[in-house]
Amino acid sequence: MNRLPQVKQNKIFTKGDFLIMAVALIVIIAIFIFSIRPMVTGSTVEIYESGELVHTINLSKNESYFYEVASGNNTITVKDGVAYIEDSTCSDQLCVKIGAIKDSGKQIICLPNRLRVVITGEGEIDAIS
Amino acid sequence: MQSPNWNSKNLTKLALLTGLSLIMFLVESLFPPLLPFAPGAKLGLSNIFVLISLLMFNLPMTLIMIIAKCSIAILFTGNVMSLLYSLTGGIFSAVIMYGTMGLFFPKVSVIGISLLGGIAHNIAQLLVVSLVLESFHIFAYLPVLSFAGALAGILVGTVVFYISKANIPEL
């Protein structure tokens, strides 16, 4: 049942591997091209709790929102045309580390607190400066 | 496929592999994030020993190993919620790798098997995350995460190939 000796005798890279790699690469690139959209600065920041919209902030404003659920809380800050999570009580802090977003469709997720911050709409280009 | 040999010799080997994969898990948690835009993405070096277990034994024994590994890993991370993601990812990728191995093994090497396992791991986790957030919008990360999972899988497969070359007795 032990297949390790067979691995040893096998080549490191076979035609089958090449086929799998090629198919995987083609599928990934196809999905990527299909889902690609031009980068446009967004206009609205939407804050979701478990898929439910709880708050919206205009991206051109300077505003902070205190998000609180049973598992902890996050501070979502919109400042100078970008949105970011300033503070979080979650253990991994991934939502804070990921930094600021401004383009339409970009999102920040804090999984422990079931929070999703997403940018929507199309803003004016001069709204940032 | 033959039924597993649940003797104490094989169970001891399985326990050793579980311990080794937990060591790799700890070592890897010391690395800084590899992708700045996806701070959660990692190489999954502990899966080296999951793949070795799949090659040496069979699916049920490997699933026991994955459950043990993920349960003990939350003692290190202190994050019970992560059990949900690591278990689904681990089990789904093990099933995919076992299926690929049974169907194509000598024609597809460990690298191809591990590549599919890496992609499967990320797809399963994306699915769990989208169920938790009740939103399928995070599937926008599918291409990037699949590509990262494929690269990590190739690395893991290469390591397993060289471990098999190392002539470790009793392996």
- Pair of tokens at residue B32: 């800084």
- CB contacts, 8 Å: A52 with chain B: 134
**Residue B171 above 80 pLDDT?**
no
pLDDT for residue B134: 84
Domain ranges of chain A: 4-35, 44-127
Nearest-by-Cβ selection for A16 from B52, B112, B119: B112
pLDDT at A128: 47
Q: Quick one: pLDDT at residue B136?
A: 84
For residue A48, give the nearest of A121, A112, A114, A92 by alpha carbon. Answer: A114
Residue B1 pLDDT greater than 60, yes or no: no
- Within 10 Å of residue A2's Cβ, how many Cβ atoms? 12
In a 3-state reduction of DSSP, which class is residue A104? coil
Q: Which among A7, A12, A20 is the nearest to B116, CB-wise?
A: A20
Residue A74, C-beta contacts closer than 8 angstroms, at least 6 positions apart: A66, A67, A85, A87, A88, A89, A90, A95, A110, A113, A115
Q: Which pair of structure tokens corresponds to residue B116?
A: 């599919």
Whether B56 and A2 have beta carbons less than 8 Å apart is answered as yes
Cβ-count burial of A51 within 10 angstroms (0-12 exposed, 13-18 middle, 19+ buried)? middle
Mean pLDDT over B153-168 rounds to 92
* Partners of A64 in beta bridges: A77
Q: What are phi and psi of A42, to 5 degrees?
A: -80, 180
Beta bridge partners of A119: A45
Check pLDDT > 50 for residue B108. Answer: yes
Question: What is the enclosing helix (H) or strand (E) of A55?
Answer: strand A52-58
How far apart CA A28 and CA A115 sit, in angstroms, is 27
Q: Is A116 helix (H, G, I), strand (E, B) or coil?
A: strand
pLDDT value of residue A129? 44
Distance between CA atoms of residues B45 and B63, nearest Å = 17
CA distance A63 to A78: 5
Inter-chain touch B165–A20, beta carbons under 8 Å? no
One-letter amino acid at A49 equals E
**What letter represents residue B59's amino acid?**
L
Nearest CA in chain B to A99: B37
Please write the tens of the pLDDT for every residue from B33-78.
777 666 667 899 999 999 999 999 989 999 999 999 999 999 988 8
Task: Tell me what pLDDT residue B4 has.
Answer: 60
CATH 3.40.190.10 corresponds to the domain A44-127: no
| Phi, psi values for residue B32, rounded to 5° | -70, 160
Q: What is the predicted pLDDT for the residue at B68? A: 96
ipTM of the complex: 0.80
d(C-alpha B170, C-alpha B9), whole Å: 10
Query: CATH assignment of B10-25+42-165?
Result: 1.10.1760
Residues with Cβ within 8 Å of residue B81, at least 6 apart in sequence? A111, A112
**What does the alpha-carbon distance between residue B51 and residue B46 come to, in Å, rounded to a whole number?**
9
Per residue in B118-134, pLDDT (tens digit) is 999 999 999 999 998 88
Query: pLDDT, tens digit, for every residue of A51-77?
Result: 899 999 999 989 999 999 998 999 999
pLDDT value of position A86:
93
pLDDT higher than threshold 90 for residue B160: yes
Inter-chain contact B146–A13, Cβ cutoff 8 Å? no
Question: Which of B132, B140, B164 lies at the smallest CB-CB distance from A35?
Answer: B140
- Give, for A9, the enclosing helix (H) or strand (E): helix A4-9
Higher pLDDT, B158 or B32: B158
Q: Collect the ranges in chain A with pLDDT lower than 70.
A: 1, 124-129
